[in-house]
Amino acid sequence: MARKAAVLPIVGMVMAECAQAGRMILGKAAMSNGISSFVFVLYSNAIACLILLPSSSLFHRSSERPPLTPSIVSGFFLLGLFGCLGQSFCYAGINLSSPTLGTAMLNLVPGLTFILAIIFRMENVDWKSYSTVAKSMGTIVSIGGAFIVTCYKGPLLLKALPSVTKSSHQVLLQQSNWVLGGLLMAVDCATASSWLIVQALILKKYPAKLIVVFFHFFFSTILSSIVAVVMERDPSAWSLNSNIRLIAVLFSGILGNAFEVGVTAWCLHKTGPVFVAIFAPLGIVIAAAASVVCFGDALDLGIVLGAAIIAIGFYAVIWGKAQEEVKKVEEDKENCGSASSSQKVPFLQNRSNDCA
């Protein structure tokens, strides 16, 4: 039983990373088939919203839900805004580059979140602390890796499949699209970091996680529908008449959004953020293999080197955060013990139960 409990989070995180990589890979395939990236985001959000509506209601009973106030609803709207912007930039970037670049760039999020947390004074900076130094250096290294993966190609490690012969003009256009795609996904990472900051603030006031996620997708659906109507006027770009478009939308909405978020939240609750973070670079491997096999993309030194550097910076940030959590737990135990020793016996027993 204990072994099963230990294995389940591992299986869950592998499945979550596969779902994330699959969402990007199938999204790229659907957009190559003609569906608009804005329409794809709209359909995916709508499906996730429909799935999370009953599940969030069942998980959080009405008697246990905190009251919805105007400030909380405004926070939900802000989450939806960041979510809509992030997804729009993400899929536009993937459409111009590849899912491999998308999964590699996602590892920038912890470092950028650290920067935003400092700006909004949610993070204490102590340069004498190893954790602060690790997070700062990890952020710098991750950003450097992002520049490499976006701007540097290097020699080929695996050649593209020889199904299509490209002219020199097409090669230059592909390189410029790759850089633009990388920049768009960097903006996506910045919005994702902002989303995490806003989510952390909301969860302090409204701890019902699934309801927060539902309202995120609810407002994202509304906003992405407005964006899609304004940006996409071609009726054929809205159609789901091909199998690949329909499969990609269903996979993204059910597995890539609702399932991935739910499983990650469960693993986060069971094991903590460090365990969840360990699996992030797995998505790069999955996406790189699928891009080579499914799309015939070339694999060059730049993407491998840049992804490795981003992963190193990613783990440095996560290690620094883990050290802070350990220090915080130790301080809480010390405070709990000192407070308990200064009180009478009945109160001492209550405090001991709280600390256990």
Kindly state whether residue 355 falls inside one of the protein's structural domains.
no
Kindly state whether residue 291 falls inside one of the protein's structural domains.
no
Kindly state whether residue 343 falls inside one of the protein's structural domains.
no
CB 52 within 8 A of CB 258: yes
Is the confidence at residue 172, as pLDDT, over 50? Answer: no
Question: Beta-carbon neighbour count of residue 287 at 10 Å?
Answer: 27
Query: Mean pLDDT, to the nearest integer, of 125-147?
Result: 83
Kindly state whether residue 303 falls inside one of the protein's structural domains.
no
Kindly state whether residue 50 falls inside one of the protein's structural domains.
yes
Kindly state whether residue 27 falls inside one of the protein's structural domains.
yes
Query: Mean pLDDT, to the nearest integer, of 321-335?
Result: 76
Instruction: Please state the domain count of the chain.
Output: 1
Kindly state whether residue 328 falls inside one of the protein's structural domains.
no
Residues 6 or more apart whose Cβ sits within 8 Å of residue 306: 104, 145, 146, 147, 148, 149, 150, 152
Strand partners, 156: 300
- Measure the CA–CA gap between 44 and 47, rounded to whole angstroms: 5
Residue-level pLDDT at 167:
42
Residue-level pLDDT at 2:
56
Strand, coil or helix: 300: strand
Strand, coil or helix: 299: strand
Q: Among 96-100, 123-127, 165-169, 227-231, whose mean pLDDT is lowest? A: 165-169
pLDDT tier at 221, thresholds 50, 70, 90: very high
Query: Is the CA virtual torsion 85, 195, 268, 213 positive or negative?
Result: negative
Kindly state whether residue 312 falls inside one of the protein's structural domains.
no
Q: Which of 114-128, 150-164, 167-181, 200-214 has the highest mean pLDDT?
A: 200-214
31: containing domain:
8-58+67-125+175-273
pTM of the model: 0.75
Encode pLDDT of 56-96 as tens digits: 777 766 656 778 889 999 999 999 999 899 999 989 888 88
- Measure the CA–CA gap between 317 and 329, rounded to whole angstroms: 19
Side-chain half-sphere exposure of 190, counting CA atoms within 13 A = 10
Is the confidence at residue 227, as pLDDT, over 90? Answer: yes
E strand or H helix that includes residue 212: helix 209-231
Encode pLDDT of 341-356 as tens digits: 555 444 334 433 444 4
